[in-house]
Structure 1
Amino acid sequence: MRNILFVCSRNQWRSPTAEQVWRRHPELSVRSAGTSPKARKTIGPADLRWADVILVMEDKHKHRLMADYGRLLQHKQVHVLDIPDDYQYMDPELVEILQTSVACLLELTNF
């Protein structure tokens, strides 16, 4: 079982969608959080310690994490999914992008 943390800015649309899409996968335990102080669930050190792999939506999220938590990320895999903030929660196009990109990145064969 791998612990996967999905991160966007406000934890409203993209990262909660990713968490919902992947939460029932038998090989994964998933959570989501946001980098903004106004996020629905703001990321913290405990989230980063828990995560085996951190998947951020944009470069700015990775930069924010590195600036705020650089030491905690030294031995973590952090990947940028390059998904812009153009989607609502569970948008079918967003779901498809997340299914394809995450499966490829994590080398998963089944949804």
Structure 2
Amino acid sequence: MSAGTNRDAETPLSDELIEWADYIFVMERPHRKKLQDKHRAALKDKRLVVLDIPDGFELMDPNLIHMLNVKMSRWIPTN
């Protein structure tokens, strides 16, 4: 599931979504800080992973998809 950190996000992140997740992935370190500042209590038992991917790509940009495939291969099996 995907959720955004901004209020105008299509699916804004909530404590309920955090509770649902096993892992939480963010693109950049400032996203991690924003989550920790706003949702600290909900994050206490969650694994929060920073992918270190700049958050400036257009939706479905082939370069972004490639970077996500590479970075996420550790977390999501390809078979």
TM-score normalized with structure 1 length: 0.67
Question: Percent identity of the aligned residues?
Answer: 34
Q: Distance in 2 between matches of 1:87 and 1:45?
A: 26
Q: What is the aligned length?
A: 79
DSSP-derived class of the 2:53 partner: coil
Please say if 1:40 is aligned against 2:6.
Answer: no
More moved, 36-45 vs 50-59 = 36-45
DSSP-derived class of the 1:78 partner: strand
Runs of 4+ in structure 1 over 4 Å off: none
Q: Distance in 2 between matches of 1:83 and 1:51?
A: 21
1:27-84 deviation per Cα after TM superposition (whole angstroms, max 9, x unaligned): xxxx001111111111101110000000001111111111111111111000001111
Which residue identity is paired with 1:50? W
Q: Distance in 1 between matches of 2:64 and 2:45?
A: 29
Counterpart in the other structure of 1:51: 21
Cα-Cα RMSD: 1.3
The structure in which a higher percent of residues are strand is 1
Residue 107 of structure 1: how far off its partner (Å) = 5.7
Unaligned runs of 5+ in 2: none
Q: Distance in 2 between matches of 1:75 and 1:99?
A: 26
Please say if 1:89 is aligned against 2:59.
Answer: yes
Unaligned runs of 5+ in 1: 1-30
Q: Distance in 1 between matches of 2:39 and 2:57?
A: 27
TM-score normalized with structure 2 length: 0.92
1 or 2 for the larger relative contact order (CA 8 Å, sep ≥6)? Answer: 1
